[in-house]
Amino acid sequence: MKLISAASGALAAYLAWRSLGWPLIHDAPLMHYIAWVIGEGGVPYRDVFDMNLPGVYLIHAAVIGLLGRGDLAWRLFDLGWLAATGALESTPPPSDLVVPSATSPDGRMIAIPDAASTFHVEDVATGEVIWTFGPHPTRVTGLDWGGVTRIASSAEREPVDRWAFEPSVRVWSTTLVTMEQALPGIDNGPALFDSTLGRLFVTGRSSVTRWCK
């Protein structure tokens, strides 16, 4: 994996270096011109017309002011923007997205969310993976045990179309190692088992609670 990453980085650097000679083409010269007109006191959409929003002209004006009007200046900005976007995309999620694990009532097993949209159950004493459940439509955001034979898992809601959403709560049987039920969630809230009644309920951020079983 390290070798692949190094090779990919080297290829990206080579292609970036080869692109330094690219000229200003397509929309960039037009945006440069409008930025220049604004810098000379012109008013956008009155003295010069274009369909883009003002922020585009401000970006070009900033690049011209800081780096100049040449082809290389814009190319350096373009590459910097791409590098910043790539860095943000590769940044791991913040720690507040980490879902806590859930220990079975008898203390012998623990359910742990995986990086993907699944979760697995380990033996607390040995660390051995006993079962793996899933997947959900999206990542798992909550886990709870109903005795030692059932596990409820919550997940982020995933829109199927404009009006419908995938169920975000699922109940799993540790006896059959399969899903028992799929339910809609509330505001991405967790699904929990009531230890006294043995019933499942779903609660949301809006303090709305719905009993399911």
pLDDT band at 163 (very low <50, low <70, confident <90, very high): low
Q: In this predicted structure, what is the pLDDT of residue 133?
A: 92
**Residue 90: pLDDT band with limits 50, 70, 90:** low
> What's the pLDDT band for 127 if we cut at 50, 70, 90?
very high
Per-residue pLDDT averaged across 135-148, rounded? 83
Distance CA 169, CA 184 (A): 6
**pLDDT class of 158 with cuts at 50, 70, 90:** low
Question: What is the per-residue pLDDT for 202?
Answer: 65
Which of 185, 176, 184, 178 is closest to 206 using CA atoms?
Answer: 185
Summary count for the chain: helices (H), strands (E): 4, 11
Q: CA–CA distance from 98 to each of 93, 139, 140, 143, 167 (Å)?
A: 8, 11, 10, 12, 21
Query: pTM, whole model, 2 decimals?
Result: 0.50
Average pLDDT, the chain: 80
Choose among 111, 120, 115: nearest CA to 138: 115
Q: In CATH, which superfamily holds the domain spanning 95-211? A: YVTN repeat-like/Quinoprotein amine dehydrogenase (2.130.10.10)
Closest CA to 122 of 111, 133, 114, 113: 111
Q: 11 by DSSP, 3-state: which? A: helix
The predicted pLDDT at position 14 comes to 83
Q: Which residues are CB-contacts of 54 (< 8 A; sequence separation ≥ 6)? A: 44
Q: What is the pLDDT of residues 167-194, one digit of tens each?
A: 578 888 888 888 888 877 666 667 777 6
Range among 114-128, 157-171, 187-201 with highest mean pLDDT value: 114-128
Q: How do the domains of the chain map onto residue ranges?
A: 2-90, 95-211
Q: What pLDDT, in 10s, does the model give residues 46-82?
A: 888 888 888 899 999 999 888 888 888 888 898 888 8
152, 171 contact by CB (below 8 A): yes
Q: Residue holding tokens 């886990």?
A: 143
* HEC-encoded secondary structure of 134-158: CCCCCCEEEEEEECCCEEEEEECCC
